[in-house]
């Protein structure tokens, strides 16, 4: 299944197995289909197996239909996917993948089934995948609005993502504004909704939300600065100037970066010069040396040198009078964050076998979060350097207080960035991916890869479902043993309060 190509498919199709071997056969055939192999026999076998008696075979075969490259091979056989869905119970795991496939096909005949599964699926992954295929401009619109209030946070996040994939339909403006004001702390849902409003120049709710950010709340400012990037005009510049006054050094520096970028875009527009002159003049007295230096350099630019600052211009420092009081930070989940003092670059780059023997073959990694406790069983023998690195970081307290910076509904959550609160940090250590036999299924613990060199450093992720596309390409080094319900409750910018390792 990893080799790819027609000969591999023929070899896999030539024999029939039983039990777990047949489940792996189904997953391997799905990998081949997902790589774009056009084969009628491959397609027909996978279609037949989505109604197999074995649930593992059904799920393995169904996975092929969620992978975009396989769409041309089966799009003319959608009827069989619909019929299979009609035989499934509302908690059938294979439905997760068939629903994603039918949503990708964008056939109007799939709409009624997607709506039914989005409303009635008994597993939140099922509801989330069905939501991705709904069209907000058709009968799927009311389902998407209701999904924003789904008790599963990932379903609400999926609904927000789907609503904002294209321009937000006008009929959703009022419900979205109301939802944001009622749920301002749901960052994973609020973020895309605010960005959609910003792109439509619907700034009132956006500014209301930004002005509620408590001083030093870096995680909310991560969302806010992303949203501001979609805003145009002086209102965006004013909010960046307000961020420049935040007590967080990281927020102030990022705000200055954004202001410089805005200035480069606006320096051909003379009517903006007085506002920038006022902002940079104020920033020239900033508490941070680098911000002051950049402001002074900009004030000396030919466009601003002889400009009078905007009369009466002032950076807003308080929320509007009608805004509710800012929330009290909860267990560090929304407060400022300081990178750990551990020297990551001093971590061993080769396995320390004495240390690993003391850990044991299957040590437990315990992550205490603000939602509850997760316990993972690690596989020392299969990924010794990865287990050693994560264990040493946990023992040193490096992961304590680190935010969960990425949550993709029905796919994965990611944490472990020791440099920045949003996943953009690059730790000063890199070690190679360790190929293991652990598949990426629900609760698999894996290591993220660096874009720069393809290695891995300190960031880890946990999958919410089977993810065949990750097998063999990322280090899978453990699986969730306790806390499945906690994993399902985690939201964007929740916190790993404490990490520890228990030898076994």
Helices and strands, counts by H and E, the chain: 22, 8
Percentage of the chain modeled with pLDDT above 70: 94
Strand partners, 364: 377, 502
Q: What is the mean pLDDT of the chain?
A: 92
Work out the angle at residue 439's Cα, subtended by the Cα atoms of residues 436 and 444, and round it to the nearest 5 degrees.
100
Name, in order, each residue with C-beta under 8 angstroms of 229's C-beta and a sequence gap of 6 or more: 258
- Two structure tokens written together for 301: 């630019």
Radius of gyration of the chain (CA): 25
Distance between CA 480 and CA 149 in Å, rounded?
28
Confidence of residue 337 (pLDDT cuts 50, 70, 90): low
For residue 343, the model assigns a pLDDT of 77
Q: What is the pLDDT of residues 283-335, one digit of tens each?
A: 999 999 999 999 999 999 999 999 999 876 654 444 444 444 444 333 333 44
Work out the angle at residue 487's Cα, subtended by the Cα atoms of residues 485 and 491, and round it to the nearest 5 degrees.
120
For residue 339, the model assigns a pLDDT of 63
For residue 338, the model assigns a pLDDT of 64
Residue (of 189, 111, 82) closest to 145 by Cα position: 189
Give 431's DSSP letter: B
Q: What is the pLDDT of residues 61-118, one digit of tens each?
A: 999 999 999 999 999 999 999 999 999 999 999 999 999 999 999 999 999 999 999 9
Work out the angle at residue 252's Cα, subtended by the Cα atoms of residues 206 and 187, and round it to the nearest 5 degrees.
40
Does the CA dihedral 124-130-132-134 come out positive or negative?
negative
Q: What is the mean pLDDT of residues 374-402?
A: 95
Distance between CA 392 and CA 377 in Å, rounded?
16
Residue whose token pair is 């994973």: 188
For residue 319, the model assigns a pLDDT of 42
Q: What is the pLDDT of residues 135-189, one digit of tens each?
A: 998 889 999 999 999 999 999 999 999 999 988 888 899 999 999 999 999 999 9
For residue 73, the model assigns a pLDDT of 94
Distance between CA 326 and CA 317 in Å, rounded?
14
- Two structure tokens written together for 14: 């030539």
For residue 4, the model assigns a pLDDT of 86
For residue 346, the model assigns a pLDDT of 81
pTM: 0.89
- Two structure tokens written together for 373: 């406790």
Residue (of 329, 499, 334, 492) closest to 400 by Cα position: 499
For residue 12, the model assigns a pLDDT of 96
């Amino acid at each position: 299944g990893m080799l790819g190509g027609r000969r591999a498919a023929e070899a896999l199709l030539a024999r029939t197995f039983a039990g777990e071997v047949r489940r792996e056969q189904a997953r391997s055939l799905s990998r081949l289909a997902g790589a774009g192999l056009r084969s009628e026999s491959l397609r027909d076998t996978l279609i037949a197996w989505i109604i197999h008696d074995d649930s593992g075979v059904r799920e393995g075969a169904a996975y092929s239909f969620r992978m975009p490259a396989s769409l041309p091979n089966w799009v003319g056989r959608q009827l069989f996917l619909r019929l299979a869905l009609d035989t499934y119970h509302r908690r059938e795991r294979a439905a997760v993948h068939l629903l994603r496939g039918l949503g990708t096909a964008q056939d109007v005949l799939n709409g009624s089934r997607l709506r039914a599964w989005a409303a009635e699926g008994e597993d939140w992954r099922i509801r989330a995948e069905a939501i991705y295929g709904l069209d907000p401009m058709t009968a799927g619109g009311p389902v998407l609005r209701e999904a924003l209030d789904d008790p599963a946070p990932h379903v609400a996040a999926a609904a927000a993502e789907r609503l904002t994939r294209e321009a937000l339909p006008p009929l959703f403006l009022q419900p979205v504004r109301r939802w944001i004001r009622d749920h301002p702390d749901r960052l994973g849902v609020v973020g895309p909704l605010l960005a959609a409003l910003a792109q439509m120049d619907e700034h009132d709710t956006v500014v209301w939300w930004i002005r509620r950010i408590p001083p030093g709340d870096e995680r909310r400012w991560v969302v806010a600065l992303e949203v501001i990037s979609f805003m145009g005009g002086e209102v965006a510049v004013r909010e960046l100037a307000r961020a420049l006054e935040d007590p967080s050094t990281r927020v102030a520096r990022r705000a200055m970066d954004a202001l410089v970028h805005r200035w480069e875009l606006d320096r051909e527009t003379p009517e903006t010069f007085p506002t920038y002159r006022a902002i940079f003049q104020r920033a020239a007295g900033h508490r941070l040396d680098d911000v002051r230096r950049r402001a002074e350099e900009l004030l000396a630019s030919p466009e601003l040198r002889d400009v009078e600052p905007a009369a009466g211009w002032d950076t807003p420092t308080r929320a509007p009078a009608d805004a509710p009081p800012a929330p009290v930070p909860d267990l560090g989940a929304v407060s400022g964050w300081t990178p750990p003092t551990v020297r990551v670059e001093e971590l061993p780059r080769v396995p320390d076998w004495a240390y690993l023997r003391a850990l044991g073959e299957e040590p437990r990694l315990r992550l205490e979060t603000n939602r509850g406790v997760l316990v993972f069983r690690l596989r020392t023998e299969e990924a010794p350097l990865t287990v050693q690195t994560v264990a040493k970081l946990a023992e040193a307290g490096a992961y304590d207080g680190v935010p969960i910076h990425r949550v993709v509904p029905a796919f994965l959550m990611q944490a472990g960035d020791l440099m920045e609160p949003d996943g953009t940090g690059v730790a000063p250590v890199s070690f190679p991916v360790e190929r293991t036999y652990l598949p990426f299924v629900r609760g698999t613990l894996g290591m993220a890869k660096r874009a720069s060199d393809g290695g891995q450093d300190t960031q880890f992720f946990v999958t919410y479902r089977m993810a065949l596309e990750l097998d063999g390409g990322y280090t899978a080094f453990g699986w969730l043993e306790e806390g499945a319900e906690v994993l399902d409750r985690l939201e964007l910018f929740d916190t790993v309060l404490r990490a520890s390792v228990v030898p076994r």
